[in-house]
């Protein structure tokens, strides 16, 4: 998985196309990411304690990795590549060549 938690990404396909947000959670087993404030769905939550309200809440649903692209410092969507520098594997933006 080339994307990591706290990366800023832009959604490039689907109902939230164009939305920019941070990755909240990564599921590498299923190639999915959860983007903060994007792909919101309604979920029925059970009341668990006396103070907990329960009811219907809005939560982020998973997006496939192919539907998001990393955003660089110049607010440009790009793909991610790997290269080895000084014996360390580093991620870099394919469009600009800058390290991530």
For the chain, the domains span 8-74
Indicate the Cα dihedral angle 1, 90, 34, 63, nearest 10°.
Answer: -50
The rounded average pLDDT for each run of 10 residues, N- to C-terminus, in the chain (100 residues) is 95 95 97 96 92 90 96 92 95 92
Q: What share of the chain is helix, strand, coil (3-state, %, to 5)?
A: 5, 50, 50
Residues 30 and 61 sit within 8 Å (Cβ to Cβ): no
Phi, then psi, of 94 in degrees rounded to 5: -70, -30
State the pLDDT at residue 84: 95
State the pLDDT at residue 93: 94
State the pLDDT at residue 62: 97
Of 36, 20, 26, 30, give the one whose Cα is nearest residue 69: 20
Residues 1 and 66 sit within 8 Å (Cβ to Cβ): no
The answer to pTM > 0.85 is: yes
State the pLDDT at residue 74: 84
Regarding beta strands 8-11 and 68-71, do their DSSP bridges make them parallel or antiparallel, or are they unpaired? antiparallel
State the pLDDT at residue 72: 93
State the pLDDT at residue 52: 85
State the pLDDT at residue 33: 98
State the pLDDT at residue 59: 94
Top-level class of domain 8-74: mainly beta
Residues 59 and 50 sit within 8 Å (Cβ to Cβ): no
State the pLDDT at residue 27: 97
């Amino acid at each position: 998985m080339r994307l990591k938690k706290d990366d800023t990404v832009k959604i490039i396909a689907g109902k939230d196309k164009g939305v920019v947000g941070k990755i909240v959670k990564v599921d590498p087993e299923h190639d999915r990411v959860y983007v903060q404030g994007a792909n919101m769905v309604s979920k029925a939550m059970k009341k668990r304690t006396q103070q907990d309200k329960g009811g219907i809440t809005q939560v982020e649903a998973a997006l496939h990795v192919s539907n998001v692209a990393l955003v660089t410092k110049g607010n440009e969507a790009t793909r991610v590549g790997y290269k080895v520098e000084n014996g360390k594997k580093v991620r870099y933006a394919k469009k600009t060549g800058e390290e991530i």
